[in-house]
Structure 1
Amino acid sequence: MKDIPVHQLIERSSSGLEISYFTLGDRPKEKEPLGAHRDDHYLFFLVEAGSASLMIDFHEIRFSEGSLYYILPGQVHHRIRNEVAGGWFVALDTQHIPPGYRAVFENQLLLQQPCQLSNCELNQYQQLLHLISEKHAESTQNPFYAPVLQSLLQSFTGMVAANFSKVHNPEMQLSRPGQISLMFKKLLMEQVRVIKSPSAYAALLNVSETYLNEVLKKTTGFPVSYWITQEVMLEAKRLLFYSDLNVKEIAHTLGYDDHTYFSRLFKKSAAVTPLTFRDNSRK
């Protein structure tokens, strides 16, 4: 293996959501890759029964009944065992997670640890995930399909963010590269509309562009330019979905004078044009 594989959600789901329920004794499908890999999206797990283990960036994370957990985009992970667990699996594109919730998930100096839920909290998650699964399975032609599903997903991620904002584990401090990665991501979320240059972000962090690229590749598998593009596209998707700005206005809002270049960039990243994305997401 020349490099760690990266799994892209768009290859499996055009909606940016994949949700499934697994029962005790379930085994992965034969075609499912089990080796170490990264994802370009978030993963959420709710273990209702039994136990399981994952290896996250060289740390074994154990899950017991009533555990809630998430994996960040770019974190290297692989399954150790899950044949004796039952619960929910959610793969979610970053576009579905509001910035405030992302700040909870991404701006931690510690490797995230499972959150143990109370019986009341577990019951709330179970009901919400059942509803999300049912709504996701409905026809996209149903009135308000997209906004209703988006509201449910924001409720889910908001509940997860609230739980994890209370979780701390001082034993697993990030390395210096990990800290720089976090600082870069925080800067990126704040400045992406006005700063697109990798060298500018490196200067703000008081490191060289070469070193920042090395750090990002080591900790996430992607260079600085990839994350800048991803954050721009995320903002573009939000504006296409939530606002009535036209493509030219959105391009200018995001700092692009040439809206045709912006459209090409969007299509390269999302595999559809901005207008097609808007039409599909609002059905």
Structure 2
Amino acid sequence: MQHIPVHKLTVRSGIGIEIKHTADFDARMQDVKNLGAHRDDHYIFFMIDSGYGSIMIDFEEVAIHEKSIFYVLPAQVHHKIENSEAEGWFIAVDTMLVPKEYRMVFENQLLLQQPYKLDEASHLHCLTLIKLLYNHFNHHKQSPFYLEILHSLLHSFIGMAACGYETLHDSGKKKLRPSQIMQDFKNILNANFKTEKRPAAYASMLNISESYLNESLKNTTGLPVSYWITNEVILEAKRLLYYSNLNVKQIAHEVGYDDHTYFSRLFKKSTGKTPLAFKATYRK
């Protein structure tokens, strides 16, 4: 494969949503296995009712245990989905159907998101809602207001998930300014890291000083702006080294460097390995 494939929801669904129960998983998991490592152009939500599953996301294996919710963001590279006697649900959702305020919750971490453990009451509420959603999705396609009801149920489920993650992140406290800056920084970093490497440029995009941006990120993550810019670049480079057949020079260009020797030095400084050594280690 020359580039990492992108799995598009429109190929499977024309209404921006796909929902399956574990009873439907065999075919779905075979599709994912056949696709291999890939990105999605949409959100994926998992809710495990019993047992557990695991998914490999950007070189980290995440275990999802019973009564937990987990999500995969658009563009995150993932593969190797396993389910060990798991019962639960899979929902693929077009990004445009995830309200902005909920997206801000799901996308506000610079580090990899973790599963959210539901208490008994929350699990029951989510399970009731997702069963309504599943039933409506599969059995009421000819009914009046089908899409309107479907989207309302979907928004309710996503809202409950967002509420849980927001409580988990902030312990119910009002979001502080540094946390908001971190979230805004992540959003513009994802969109611009290939073409913009200067901390001052990101501060300018946020209409704040570079020193205040650095201070805010250090307060929330313990690390400065420059670290997170390089981290995003190196993560994308690792994805391309591992999952594509692009050479080092092509990958350097993909992540915004004309000088591939400089890129190689940066990669080694960040990871302790040259790009080729990294590729040889992970692609035996």
Structure 1 residue corresponding to 2:187, chosen from 181, 185, 201: 185
| Alpha-carbon distance, 1:110 to partner | 2.5
Question: Which protein is richer in helix relative to its size?
Answer: 2
Give the secondary structure class of the aligned counterpart of 1:63: strand
> The residue matched to 1:150 in structure 2 has which SS?
helix
- Per the alignment, do residues 188 and 99 of structure 1 end up closer, same or farther by CA in structure 2, a change over 3 Å counting? farther
Written as runs of structure 1 = structure 2, the 5 A alignment for 1:246-257 is none
Q: For the Cα contact (< 8 Å) 1:52–1:82, is it kept in 2?
A: yes
Letter in 2 for 1:185: N
Counterpart of 1:89 in structure 2 is: 90
Deviation for aligned residue 1:86: 1.1
The equivalent residue for 1:49 is 50
Structure 1 spans left out of the alignment, 5+ residues: 170-178, 190-197, 225-283
**Quick one: distance in 1 between partners of 2:24 and 2:138?**
23
Over the aligned positions, Cα root-mean-square deviation in angstroms equals 3.7
Q: TM-score, normalised by structure 1?
A: 0.60
Residue 136 (structure 1) aligned with residue 128 (structure 2):
no
Identity of aligned residues (%): 42
Structure 2 match to 1:15 = 15
Residue correspondence of structure 1 range 150-165 to structure 2 within 5 A: 150-165=151-166
Give the TM-score, by structure 2 length.
0.60
Deviations 1:16-47 (Å, cap 9, x if unpaired)?
Answer: 00000004995756444252111000000000
Q: Secondary structure at the match of 2:3?
A: coil
Distance 1:131 1:99, change over 3 A: same
The answer for the alignment partner of 1:70 in structure 2 is: 71
1:83 Cα deviation after fit: 3.9
Indicate the SS of the match to 2:167.
coil
Question: Which residue identity does 2:5 align to in structure 1?
Answer: P
- Structure 1 residue 109: deviation in Å? 2.3
Q: Is the Cα–Cα contact under 8 Å of residues 7 and 37 in structure 1 kept in the other structure?
A: yes
Q: Size of the alignment, in residue pairs?
A: 201
Q: Over residues 102-146 of structure 1, what are the superposed CA-to-partner deviations in whole Å (9 max), with x where a residue is unaligned?
A: 000112223110011111111111111111111112444422222
Instruction: Output one character per residue of 1:163-194: Cα deviation in whole Å (capped at 9) or x when no partner.
Output: 1113349xxxxxxxxx99962625999xxxxx
* Contact 1:184 1:205 (C-alpha < 8 Å) held by counterparts: no
CA offset at residue 84 of structure 1?
A: 2.1
Aligned mate of 2:202, from 202, 205, 217:
205
* 1:109-148 to 2 correspondences below 5 Å: 109-148=110-149
Q: CA deviation at 1:216?
A: 11
Q: Secondary structure at the match of 1:84?
A: strand
**Greater C-alpha Rg:** 2
8 Å contact from structure 1 (residues 180, 215) kept in 2:
no
Question: Unaligned regions of 5+ residues in structure 2, if any?
Answer: 171-180, 205-228, 241-253, 256-284
Letter paired with 1:164: Y
Is residue 105–residue 161 contact of structure 1 (8 Å, CA) maintained in 2? yes
3-state SS in 2 of match to 1:122 = helix
CA 1:53–1:157 in structure 2 vs 1: closer, same or farther (change >3 Å)? same
